[in-house]
């Protein structure tokens, strides 16, 4: 990915119940994220973190949503920041934080596109409303909000405007869906690939079909929740779901998306360093982001800071090298 990139942290944890997701942006930086990225792309700016409240009201209110006001305030700040990044012709890379930050990210993006698409890589559907949520946690609601369904105050974030169309959404890796979400997904006919589908058809076919489905979109946002990956490989998450897409397939998915040049913005969410094991998940997320932004391509070429591509001598067919899955076609 040769585009200029702006990184911004969104240290939010109030969208769910486990403290620690707010520590993820700092943990990723401490693990050397920017140094890793600038080794092959020199036009990367880290804008630091958006100021976000740490304390909230954890009981659900009358509208069955927890921590509503601090999340509204944070989402508006995220929306303004993302809007400025896109307006300056840079690629926004948002580091969560829990998945409630997607409300702000999408609100900041939507005004820049006529037909925005979304790839939602996640174990969970995140399309609950106050009427369907079993928990009241807003990190389970951002996609519904982006489509125009949900609490009125959440729908006002970023100003009333265009909403995401159901035909412009593709799920990958989803396996933990609440009953109300399942009904809504069926009703809206949203495209969905489960972790089992990935195993059955292979990740290259899933990505090919995803991009074909979104071919009419003039921009594609990647919302990557790391709990979409099997928790045995990624223990540092607050809402693990058994099974999931393998780490190997997830690296490949990100490499293929990078090669397509179709994705115009991205966020990586739900890393919780407090729940991690010896930094395993944090280091893996740095690897995922580097793969997505072009450190290694699917044909085994390593990018340098000058934009050149050099063959990775360790890459022979589909297999994992020290860090990445490469392929020689």
> Quick check: 119 and 170 in contact, CB under 8 A?
yes
Residues, the chain: 329
- Helix runs in the chain, H state only: 24-30, 33-38, 68-87, 101-109, 142-147, 152-155, 179-188, 195-201, 203-213, 247-260, 280-293
> Quick check: 259 and 249 in contact, CB under 8 A?
no
Write down the catalytic residue from 225, 267, 276, 312: 225
Write down the catalytic residue from 139, 151, 197, 267: 139
The answer to whether residue 225 is catalytic is yes
Write down the catalytic residue from 83, 99, 181, 258: 99
Name residues whose C-beta falls within 8 Å of residue 282's C-beta, 6 or more positions apart in sequence. 24, 27, 28, 31, 236, 271, 273, 276
The answer to whether residue 151 is catalytic is no
The answer to whether residue 112 is catalytic is no
Phi-psi region of 50 (alpha: psi -120 to 50; beta: other; left: phi over 0): beta
The answer to whether residue 186 is catalytic is no
Comparing CA positions, the residue from 191, 185, 36, 215 lying closest to residue 121 is: 191
Write down the catalytic residue from 122, 178, 230, 295: 122
Name residues whose C-beta falls within 8 Å of residue 178's C-beta, 6 or more positions apart in sequence. 125, 128, 132, 133, 134, 140
Comparing CA positions, the residue from 202, 16, 4 lying closest to residue 90 is: 4
Comparing CA positions, the residue from 35, 24, 51 lying closest to residue 267 is: 24
The answer to whether residue 227 is catalytic is yes
Comparing CA positions, the residue from 265, 218, 217, 261 lying closest to residue 79 is: 265
Write down the catalytic residue from 83, 178, 227, 287: 227
Q: How far is CA 253 from the centre of its chain?
A: 13
The answer to whether residue 312 is catalytic is no
Alpha-carbon gap, residue 283 to 276, rounded angstroms: 10
The answer to whether residue 99 is catalytic is yes
Write down the catalytic residue from 249, 258, 267, 270: 270
Write down the catalytic residue from 98, 124, 178, 295: 124
End-to-end CA distance of the chain: 20
The answer to whether residue 124 is catalytic is yes
Q: Known catalytic residues?
A: 99, 122, 124, 126, 139, 225, 227, 270
């Amino acid at each position: 990915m040769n585009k200029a990139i702006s990184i911004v942290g969104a240290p939010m944890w109030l969208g769910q119940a486990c403290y620690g997701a707010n520590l993820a942006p700092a943990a990723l930086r401490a693990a050397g994220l920017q140094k890793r990225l600038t080794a092959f792309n020199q036009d990367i700016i880290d804008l630091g973190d958006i100021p976000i409240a740490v304390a909230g009201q954890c009981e659900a209110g009358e509208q069955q949503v927890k921590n509503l006001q601090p999340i509204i305030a944070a989402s508006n700040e995220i929306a303004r920041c993302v809007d400025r990044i896109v307006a300056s012709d840079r690629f926004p890379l948002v580091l969560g934080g829990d998945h409630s930050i997607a409300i702000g990210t999408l609100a900041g993006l939507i005004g820049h596109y006529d037909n925005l698409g979304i790839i939602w890589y996640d174990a969970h559907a995140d399309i609950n409303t106050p009427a369907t949520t079993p928990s009241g946690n807003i990190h389970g609601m951002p996609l519904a909000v982006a489509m125009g369904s949900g609490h009125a105050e959440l729908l006002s974030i970023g100003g009333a405007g265009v909403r995401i169309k159901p035909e412009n959404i593709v799920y990958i890796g989803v396996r933990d869906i609440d009953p109300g979400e399942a009904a809504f997904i069926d009703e809206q006919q949203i495209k969905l690939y489960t972790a089992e589908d990935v195993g059955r058809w292979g990740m290259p076919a899933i990505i090919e079909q995803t991009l074909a489905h979104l071919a009419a979109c003039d921009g594609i946002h990647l919302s990557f929740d790391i709990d979409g990956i099997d928790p045995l490989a990624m223990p540092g998450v607050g809402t693990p779901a058994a099974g999931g897409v393998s780490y190997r397939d997830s690296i490949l998915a990100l490499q293929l998306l990078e090669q397509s040049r179709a994705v115009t913005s991205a966020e990586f969410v739900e890393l919780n360093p407090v729940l991690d094991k010896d930094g395993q998940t944090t280091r893996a997320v740095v690897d995922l982001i580097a793969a997505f932004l072009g450190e290694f391509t699917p044909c085994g070429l390593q990018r340098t800071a000058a934009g050149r591509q050099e063959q990775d001598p360790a890459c022979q067919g589909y297999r994992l090298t020290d860090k990445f899955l490469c392929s020689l076609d």
